[in-house]
Amino acid sequence: MIGAYYTAVTGMLSKVMETQGAAIAEAGRLGAEAILGGGLMHAIGTGHSHMIAEEMFDRAGGLVLANAILEPSLMLHEGVQRSSSLERLPGYVQRLMELEPLSPGDLLIVISNSGRNAVPVEAALYGRERGLRVAAITSVAHSASQPPNHASGKRLYEVADVVIDNCGVPGDAVLPVGGPAVMACATSTVVGAFIMQAITAAVVERLAAAGMNPLPVLRSGNLEGASDHNRRVRAAYMDRIAKMRAYLG
């Protein structure tokens, strides 16, 4: 089973590289343009997808100009039923987004494997209405196989500027156990983390080519001397960092 999971995941990663490279590069272009224009990158995900938003935020090798929209009520640690209910609640995400430093020209990355509930769809619509560019990380196969849960009749992949398909299967899990109706071991987190880091790579490549100095990239706080580096990088962009609710708590 371990080998079967490895085969499934590496196969999906290969498929992402083969079919989604252009979309990832486009998201990287939009992110670099946002940063070079004085703006930010933002990411939001609900449930387990919030981990993909965190993947770009305040970590080793990550961009200091990346703002993760981390709402506890949409994560799992305050209750699975609570999170699932609020993810489906129309109008809920607009109140959250109003607290974020979203500006025209910024890049908003919305992560949702199913892409069918109110929060991811309305987050994307909210961003586009305010002049942000919106990239989606989603499973097109899963999303297209299920009816939308939003009154617009739209799914996330139908309202984003750039769609990055995680190439996952409907239901996310890939290993049959006890018959085809019961599947184990999801793939969207592993593949989503790769996609987010690949977007970061594309952004950094463009920022370096544009001569941005210092590059807004953090070092691991567990390396000697990293604290001084990170302090200098944050100081260089403090005007933008100061806007981020995720940094302020």
- What does the alpha-carbon distance between residue 88 and residue 148 come to, in Å, rounded to a whole number? 11
**Does the pLDDT value for residue 79 go beyond 60?**
yes
Are β-strands 162-165 and 173-176 bridged in parallel, bridged antiparallel, or unpaired? unpaired
Q: How far apart are CA 131 and CA 172, in angstroms?
A: 32
- Residue with the larger pLDDT of the pair 116 and 79: 116
Q: What is the arithmetic mean of pLDDT over 120-127?
A: 96
Q: How far apart are CA 108 and CA 133, in angstroms?
A: 6
pLDDT confidence bin for 88, thresholds 50/70/90:
low
- What tokens appear for 104 in the block? 């025209």
Q: Is the pLDDT of residue 173 over 60?
A: yes
**pLDDT band per the 50, 70, 90 thresholds, residue 249:** low
For 200-224, the pLDDT digits (tens) are: 999 999 999 999 999 999 999 999 9
Report the pLDDT value the prediction gives residue 29, as an integer from 0 to 100. 98
pLDDT in tens, 58-68: 999 999 999 99
Give me the count of residues in the chain.
Answer: 249
- At residue 89 the predicted structure's pLDDT band, cuts being 50, 70 and 90, is low
Please give the CATH number for the structural domain made up of 2-248.
3.40.50.10490
Q: Which amino acid is at 244?
A: M
* Domain segments of the chain as ranges: 2-248
Per-chain mean pLDDT for the chain: 92
For residue range 183-206, what is the model confidence (pLDDT) as tens digits? 999 999 999 999 999 999 999 999
